[in-house]
Structure 1
């Protein structure tokens, strides 16, 4: 080694160890930044291993083998340079403290959670303590281990930065989604918007935005851009809301005018007793009411109450009249049931003229009895018609029996058949003499037919007699 202390000089043989007294009170020349727990009793074997990497020159320079270099790290009194072990031991202890520091750093890096500040402090301590440490020991191994710990710390920092970046991206995505939801709400057809719910959403918009910024802040430029979109959407919503409610007010006013007209017409009809036509008119008014536009809830309810009151007044009077009419019709039904019993007792075969007179009396009283319930009308009318048909049939039969022209026709037909039968009897006799079976059968059939006709005519003549 040269006098100038050049660190690139070739290492010289280790001198004899100085006396312990010569090194009393001497410490390493360079301070050690320690992040390890307080010093403990060092393992003698580890101390001896560390001492192998140090030497003391004749001039008292303390040197350490740092890779391929022999680096001076401190000095001792030349008189004490003979006791090498004593001179180097403090430096070896400092080396072991650095090992302990790295052990402690490794434990800290193995912890489940870290902060960015903690990791930055660890990296700074590794940089300072391992730059050119004034220690004696295996610096190459120490730096290798420190390099590995730095890489682990940097990886954790990179991971945290990636997680923060992902968190920022997620926050931006969430914020963007929120803005898009507001824009989508504003873009909805006004007729399909629930304005009460939408207004509440808009009232919560700013508090929600601030809460999102507190929970997951994003960069200022992105936040400003999204806020401009949000502000524009809110302005559009306010404009659309004003337009909607202005149009709604106009529609409500129109609905109120239309329904006032319907109410006036209903109130003009409520005292009518012309039941049938008025019922039809009220049905038409009801159809118009259903087709009318809707007004405000309060006005609609009040107008409907007035319209229904007029309707109820009319139908209450009509129902009362119907009830009275139904009672009268039930009484009429009782009368007609008694008339039917009287009518069904008539026997036109015994006394046709008396039957006709009795039927006329029943028919007159039937008309005077009035209407019966609709459900019984067909039944009682059919029973009376049956009696009328029986009397009419008896009358027709009597007319046919006493008509001279009918008698003459019957007598003439009887004479003609008697003459025809005599002729057919001769034909049958001739057929029998001929022995022709077919001719006999034909003659017999013709004779039988004329005899049947004559029997019918003679019965008719008997009825006429």
Structure 2
């Protein structure tokens, strides 16, 4: 049998692969200029969607096929599902029914007597391959099955995209690639309808990609805004915070929230992180500086309080009550001004200081209590003595003065009395002393020889001036008589006063 006769029973693909009647390829040497591959072993396809034979749109068979989803081994299955459902497909994707080519492939193409296979397109016929392995109808059926496989792939893309189970971006890429491949696809079928279906899938996928991009941009903007808010809060805390524990806890909470915020591009995220990190470092430096200063202050306060506690312990045994009590008050003022030391040291030093202070004031209180009891007894003794003094008889001034002197000596011997009793007791004693003094004065005035001599002298002078006045009138000297009468009158007044003083003694 010649080579030409053998060609009547085999189909030659453009790449040189020889097919026998069972569509099984036999290895051949590689061709120097390989053409497109147009035939491969037939794969069974799932029930056609959107108008396959025996399947009515919206019937239970079609719904079951849609619910089953694409085969997990499909070569164009998306790597992952989108984060958000995509919108329902436009009419171009779901309203154009594309019938499978396999039941009636003669509607979509033909086989020339020389075995060339053609498909009908919008621009006319296009050669899709050569069939030499059997009857022309078998060749058309072979290329129609190839079309059905492509249709199945397109329908699966549309179905998964409409159901929200596909990545819109990946679906868009796959649909575009599939649509572009139709211009050279080695298939026989409704290429116009399939192209329209893929156009709808592309439009739907582009819309979904836009929606996904808008949602992603919105989420990114929200994430950026939130991190900017957190960074601004951190910057404010780094400058103004003085409640160190609360601010430190807030920084931790900001960091925890920061780690949960996703979806920001690296450049923006790094810039925001630098702001937050810089603010946190500034806060840590301020807090560290504050506590370093506080440690220095506490060390100084501890040294100063040790000095005050030591001085207080030395004063605890003092009996100089007034000055020591005043010094303890000054020590307390200095203690408060010294500031706080570390808690343990501060508590220990305060206990030392307070113990010494309490010991001194306890001793002083006991001393004052004993003194008050003594003063109360002294006051009672002085009141008894005053009762006796107030009964002194002033009729005999000398005896009264002697009795008063005895009372005064006993008064001084008694000692101090309570502060509140000093003025009343002293007033009563001064009254007794004044009573005795008046009695003595009266006696002295009655027995004073100088007073009697003054009275006699005043009488003598009155007599002298009266005589001078009489002599002047006898001589007819009225002026001298008048002067002598005036002088005599003046001395009479003085005489009357002196006599009155003597009479009232």
Structure 2 match to 1:56: none
For residue 292 of structure 1, report the CA deviation from its aligned partner.
0.9
**What TM-score do you get using the length of structure 2 for normalisation?**
0.53
Q: Give secondary structure in 2 for the equivalent of 1:406.
A: helix
1:415/1:237 CA distance change after superposition, 3 Å: same
Q: Distance in 2 between matches of 1:375 and 1:159?
A: 98
State the partner residue of 1:463: 504
Two-structure CA RMSD over aligned residues (Å): 4.9
Using a 3 Å threshold, how does the CA distance of structure 1 residues 354 and 173 change in structure 2: closer, same or farther? farther
Residue 27 of structure 1: aligned partner? none
Match of 2:405 in 1: 360
Match for residue 343 of structure 2 among 286, 297, 300: 297
Matched, 1:182 2:234: yes
Deviations for 1:222-250, whole angstroms, at most 9, x for unmatched residues? 22111122222233333333333333222
Partner of 2:326: helix, strand, or coil? Answer: helix
| TM-aligned CA distance change 1:169 to 1:460, over 3 Å | same
Aligned partner of 1:334 among 361, 369, 380: 380
Q: Which residue of 1 aligns with 2:221?
A: 169
CA distance in 2, matches of 1:162, 1:396: 123
Tell me how far apart the structure 2 counterparts of residues 323 and 262 of structure 1 sit (CA, whole Å): 28
CA contact (8 A) 1:410 1:457 kept: yes
Report whether the alignment pairs 1:203 with 2:252.
yes
Q: Give distance in 1, aligned partners of 2:107 and 2:386.
A: 153
Hey, what does 1:240 align to over in structure 2?
Answer: 286
Alpha-carbon spacing, 1:397–1:256, altered in 2? closer, same or farther (3 Å): same
Within the alignment, does 1:254 sit opposite 2:274 as a pair? no
Gaps of 5+ in 2: 1-47, 61-105, 109-121, 124-161, 180-190, 195-199, 470-487
Higher helix share: 1
**Inter-CA distance 115–354: structure 2 relative to 1 (3 Å threshold):** farther
2:231–2:276 CA contact under 8 A, matched in 1 = yes
Contact in 2 for aligned 1:116/1:160 (Cα 8 Å): no
Decide whether the 8 Å contact of 1:259 with 1:303 is kept in 2. yes
C-alpha change, 1:39 and 1:263, in structure 2 (3 Å) is: same
Q: Is the 8 A contact 1:414 1:458 kept in 2?
A: no
2:403 counterpart of 1:383: no
Q: CA deviation at 1:180?
A: 1.9
Q: 1:6-405 residue pairs with structure 2 within 5 A?
A: 33=50, 38=58, 165=217, 168-188=220-240, 193-211=242-260, 213=261, 217-348=263-394, 350-405=395-450
1:170-214 deviation digits (Å, cap 9, x = unpaired): 4323221211222222223xxx72222233233334222113x1x
Contact 1:263–1:307 (8 Å) recurs in 2: yes
Give the stretch that moved more between structures: 198-207 or 365-374. 198-207
Contact 1:421 1:451 in 2 (8 A): no
| Deviation of 1:453 (Å) | 7.7
Does structure 2 conserve the Cα–Cα contact (< 8 Å) formed by 1:417 and 1:450? yes
Number of the residue aligned with 1:47: none
Q: Secondary structure at the match of 2:317?
A: coil
CA distance in structure 2 between the aligned counterparts of 1:132 and 1:415, rounded to whole angstroms: 175
Secondary structure of the structure 2 residue equivalent to 1:273: coil
Structure 2 Cα separation of the partners of residues 411 and 164 of structure 1? 138
C-alpha contact (below 8 Å) 2:230/2:254 kept by paired residues = no
CA shift for structure 1 position 422 = 12
Over 3 Å counting, the alpha-carbon distance change for 1:286 and 1:61 in structure 2 is closer
Cα contact 1:418–1:454 (8 A) shared by 2? no
Distance 2:441 2:220 in 1: 112
Distance 1:416 1:250, change over 3 A: same
Measured at CA, do residues 338 and 159 of structure 1 come closer, stay the same or move farther in structure 2, by a change above 3 Å? farther
Alpha-carbon distance in structure 1 between the residues aligned to 2:192 and 2:424: 128
Change (3 A) 1:199 1:423: farther
Distance 1:458 1:38, change over 3 A: same
For 2:349 and 2:248, the matched residues in 1 are separated by 29
Tell me if the contact between 1:332 and 1:369 (Cα under 8 Å) persists in the aligned partners. Answer: yes
SS at match of 1:204: helix
CA 208–421 in structure 1, closer or farther in 2 if over 3 Å, else same: farther
Q: 1:238 to 1:407 in 2, by over 3 A?
A: same
1:163 Cα offset (Å) = 6.8
